[in-house]
Each structure stands twice: as structure tokens, then as C-alpha cells.
Amino acid sequence: MSITLPNQNPTSQGTVVEQTRAAAEVAAAVGVARNFPRTPDVAVAAMRELCSRISVAERAFYEVPNRGAGPSIHLARELARIWGNLDYGVRELARNDTDGTSEMSVWAWDQETNVRSTRSFIQPHQRMKAGRRQDLTDLGDVYLNNQNTGARAVRECIFTVLPGWFVAEAETICKTTLRNGEGKPIGERRSTAIEKFATINVTEAQLIEGVGKPVQKWDAGDLAALTRAYSSITIDGISAKEFFPEQAVTIPAIDPTSPEYIDPESVKS
């Protein structure tokens, strides 16, 4: 016979089952990690081969004006996969539509060494637009906003757990790959950059203004910076205006002798 104390809710059978399942899952993961430990030399070789690919290097970094730059969540995920026996994720614990906030939790856990990094935070249902906070009401927008913020927090957790030397070498190889461009001629790489930005409505004139040089003088460093900007815009959701301000539209003057010319003095309110 069970006794329920006043003003106290008994633990449901479903909760007990879930807690038992979660504990068993953690124990199984630790057991597998110990039975099949990683081989650091193999992981390093795989990392070097991966980071020498231009498609990986182009997504390996982020850069946001006046907010910082560094290795991206995409590089963090790839390195976590290669290092092995590492679990990470983001979870929405609770959502309060009245207050417009979500309680979030993120983690990265090395199941082999039992090193764990966690973050918990309250995420407002808002995003920055034109320097101001904009409330989000659409469920899809709220979800994406939570996931984007969670992904950045997961990135920090993963890099906290991974060995520093492993991450540093990966960054160095990716930067070298960006500079060399897998052997493609610099002219071809310039044209490719212009074409890629055209797909997100950034003009060649805006790129020239942003880089501060004519296209013919863009070097490997300039192209690497453009690659980081493109990834931040297309992947991390940063506005293109933060990198490339919109150019003012100039209206050409009309010749006074032209039939289209209207004398302002002749127009009366």
C-alpha cells in the first residue's frame, strides 16, 4: 500500500521509467566508450585530411563586425565527430509564451574521460534588427532563434571539452587551405566570390567597398575574409548589411532643355 503525503504529488510511473531509461543509456554510453577508446593518432590524421578540403575550410570560421570571430559550430561538430566518444546537444527545457522566453540547456560530454561542459540560459523570443529588438511570435521563428543561440553555446561547450592543441592545429590547417584555395587560380576564386554573393543580393560594388580594394587587387587574405562573411550571412543568419552597407541610389539630373524637365518654379501647391 502506498501513502501519499498531503500537498505532494507522487512520482508517476512514466517518470520513473524515463529516469531509469536515461540512467541506463548513460551507463551504456560510458561502457561503449571504455570498450572502444579513441585512437588519437587516427583522429589527428582524419582531422588533417578533413581540414585540407576547401569545402570544409570555407565553413570553418565565422566573423561578425564588432562582435568577434573564431571557429564555427560546423568545425566544432566535425572535430567532435572525428575525436569520437563525445556527446553534445541542445535542449529546450521550458517555454513561457507570456513572458516571451525559453529556458535552454546545452552540453558537451567526453564519455571516455568523463569531462563535461554545460550551459543553461534564458533565451528571449526576440532578435536584433536594425539595432533594435524585434519580438518573435511565429512558432517557427521562435524555434529557429532558440536553435541558433543554442548552436553557438554548443560550439563553446565542444571547444571546452576538446583538447586545445587538436582545435588549434585544425584552425591552422583550415586557414592555410583558405589561403591556397586548393590550387585554384586567384582570378577564378575572385569570380567565384562575386557570383556567390550575387545569389544573396550583394553586388560587386558593395564587395569592392567592403574589401576596400578593386577586384583585381583582392588577395588570398581578402578572399578568406569574404568567405567568412558569406558563411556568417548564409549559415549563421547575420544580416548582409552588417558587412556590406547598402549603397545610396543616385538619380541623374535631367537636362533643362529636355522635354521631361519640369521647372520647380512652375509647380504650385
The verdict on 85 and 148 lying in the same domain is yes
The verdict on 144 and 215 lying in the same domain is no
Residue 45 pLDDT > 90: yes
The verdict on 65 and 165 lying in the same domain is yes
Q: Would you mind telling me the total number of residues written for the chain in this entry?
A: 269
The verdict on 234 and 199 lying in the same domain is yes
Chain segment 63-90, per-residue pLDDT in tens: 777 677 889 999 999 999 999 999 999 9
**pTM over 0.75, yes/no:** no
The verdict on 32 and 151 lying in the same domain is yes
Read off the pLDDT of each residue in 107-122 and give the average, rounded to a whole number: 93
Q: How many domains does the chain have?
A: 2
Can you read off the three cell numbers belonging to residue 100?
516571451
Chain segment 166-186, per-residue pLDDT in tens: 999 999 999 998 888 767 788
Residue 58 pLDDT > 90: no
Can you read off the three cell numbers belonging to residue 125?
523570443
| Closest of 65, 52, 50 to residue 228, by C-alpha | 65
Can you read off the three cell numbers belonging to residue 79?
572535430
Q: Which domain holds residue 228?
A: 184-242
